[in-house]
Amino acid sequence: MPTHADGQWWQHAVFYQVYVRSFADSDGDGIGDLDGIRSRLGYLELLGVDALWLTPFFTSPMADHGYDVADPRDVDPVFGDLEKFDLLVAEAHERGIRVTIDLVPNHTSDQHPWFVAAVEAGPGSPERDRYWFRPGPYPPNNWTSIFGGPAWSQLPDGDWYLHLFAPEQPDLNWANPEVAADLERTLRFWLDRGVDGFRIDVAHGMAKPESLPDMDPSLIDQSEILHENAIDPRFDNDDVHEVHRLIRKVLDGYPNTMAVGEIWVKGDDRFARYLRPDELHLGFNFRLVDADFDADAVRTAIEGSLRAAADSTPTWTLSNHDVVRHVTRYGDGELGLRRARAMTLVEFALPGALYLYNGEELGLPTVELPEWALQDPVWVRSGHTKRGRDGSRIPVPWEGTEPPYGFSSNADTWLPMPLEWASFTVEAQLEDENSTLSLYRHAIEIRKSHPAFAGTEIEWYGAPAGCFAFRRKGGGLICALNTSSAPVPIPPGEVLLASEPLVDGQLPPDAAVWLV
Ligand code: GLC
């Protein structure tokens, strides 16, 4: 547990996202599960993370790999059962690791009993009022699904229903009070089992304008995952804040719990609204995901993030299960890895909460999978024009020299694992001082224990073109980044950690350093 930071645990925590399907498989079906996670808790403790975020493990037909929830208060048999969940939470807590879980309030699965009943009950029924049904003959507006294609599908009886994601993910109607009451039940169900918080899926999505106005036609082809903007009536409607107030009210009755929202909202003011004192504790901030490996771009992203969280707590993320992993974004191969290591030190030097994505501590890239292996609804819905997110969801390689690298006893893993990943395994990196895993372990340990990380404000130094340096005002930590093509002198101070060895006392290109 942190020794010097003030306030609530989540304000400075290192969260670790476990993509449950891909972390560790205990029963040999080639798909990760809850017992698999439990068997690797020792690793997570060694890594030093404070809390887990588990992606959906609820009952689901898996049209979107669990983000299509058929029963939000039970565990899908693929992942285990409630007893296994309770064991996982208990053992994680024993090791001082908190457990947060996904919550999917925007939509359900089309196999959820509510939707099944709505289809059966027919047009105009109260069952249909829990979702967005509208009569035909035409779809009510021009909205498109984030995964591609129209956001409306028609039933044989002529009604259309709304799905901002796959047709198997009908959007809930939050104007119907049963919807809120059910979410409250779900929150309490998991809080009573001991979870420490929630990650709210599509937290800017639940409310829709009753009049269902058309979206700006220029956005129609931009069905990239959740890039949002003010002229898009599908997202960031004011009523969504009522949902967050409800969530907060419930959480306030459970001490030390928290919620983080997935908020793809541009504009600092709009973003900050989600973090008002009676709403979410944290908001995912994707500015570092969007920034190129360029000192000016990264600085702009940092400054914007700090502005948007000026009255709350900033969060930092480089990768998750929906985006291209940062190693690959920065250039893939050696160069991408070098830059990723540098950005890790930048991210870890910043005040606030961090969200790591499983496998990034091993330097995993996004993999170009063969078409036969692709499963993501983005691939399916885009008519195979977009490859989707599978390449960032490959199972974690633990040990050994060939697939499945200890992930499973079954070589037929749900996504194929590359033949050339032997050097990425935990086993290969654990004892190697220069490995990416060692860099993460050192960075987490120093960040947690060194007084230089105190305080929440930073100040910028002047720096050569293509470089920046900032200082934590409270504790005095200095972080310098070099995105130029030449080595640069470093600010005075004692080196705490560097992403690459210094060259004649200078910071080489594509590297970062911490000093005190
Ligand atoms: C969020 C999730 C993504 C999922 C989508 C629909 O963006 O991160 O994986 O597909 O919501 O639930």
Residue 66 alpha carbon to ligand 1 centre in Å: 9
Q: Which of 35, 68, 159, 262 is catalytic?
A: 262
Asked if 269 is an active-site residue, the reply is no
Ligand 1 interacting residues, C-beta cut-off 6 A: 64, 67, 104, 165, 201-202, 226, 262, 321-322
d(CA 26, CA 462) in angstroms, rounded, equals: 52
Cis peptide before 314 (omega within 30 of 0): no
d(CA 406, CA 327) in angstroms, rounded, equals: 23
- DSSP state, 358? T
- DSSP state, 41? H
Each residue's pLDDT tens digit, 1-35: 333 345 899 999 999 999 999 999 999 999 999 99
Q: Percentage of the chain with pLDDT > 70?
A: 97
Of the two residues 5 and 384, the one the predictor is more confident about is: 384
Q: Which of 33, 168, 182, 201 is catalytic?
A: 201
* Strand ranges inside 143-270, DSSP E: 152-154, 160-162, 197-200, 258-261
pLDDT at residue 436, rounded to an integer: 98
Mean pLDDT of the chain: 95
Residue 273 identity (one-letter amino acid): R
What lies within 8 Å, CB to CB, of 52 at 6+ separation is 15, 16, 17, 18, 37, 44, 92, 97, 98, 99, 100
Each residue's pLDDT tens digit, 92-136: 999 999 999 999 999 999 999 999 999 999 999 999 999 999 999
Query: Across-strand partners of 282?
Result: 260
- 206 neighbors 181 (Cβ within 8 angstroms): no
Each residue's pLDDT tens digit, 267-326: 888 999 999 999 999 999 999 999 999 999 999 999 999 999 999 999 999 999 999 999
Asked if 201 is an active-site residue, the reply is yes
Going by pLDDT thresholds of 50, 70 and 90, the confidence category of residue 218 is: confident
Residue 86 alpha carbon to ligand 1 centre in Å: 25
Each residue's pLDDT tens digit, 223-258: 554 455 557 899 999 999 999 999 999 999 999 999
- 407 neighbors 27 (Cβ within 8 angstroms): no
Is the pLDDT at 88 greater than 60? The verdict is: yes
Residue 67 alpha carbon to ligand 1 centre in Å: 6
Residue 106 CA: which ligand 1 atom is closest?
Answer: 12
To test the pocket of ligand 1, the residue of 53, 201, 265 to mutate (highest count of ligand atoms within 8 Å of its CB) is 201
pTM (2 d.p.): 0.97
pLDDT at residue 423, rounded to an integer: 98
- Report CA dihedral (69, 73, 76, 79) to the nearest 10 degrees: 110
Residue 67 CA: which ligand 1 atom is closest?
Answer: 12
pLDDT at residue 5, rounded to an integer: 42
Going by pLDDT thresholds of 50, 70 and 90, the confidence category of residue 264 is: confident
- Report CA dihedral (446, 448, 454, 456) to the nearest 10 degrees: 110
Residue-wise DSSP of 388-416: -SGGG-PPPP-SSSSTTTTS-S-SS-SSP
pLDDT at residue 44, rounded to an integer: 98
pLDDT at residue 383, rounded to an integer: 86
pLDDT at residue 222, rounded to an integer: 57
Provide the pairing of β-strand 506-507 with 14-18: unpaired
pLDDT at residue 184, rounded to an integer: 98
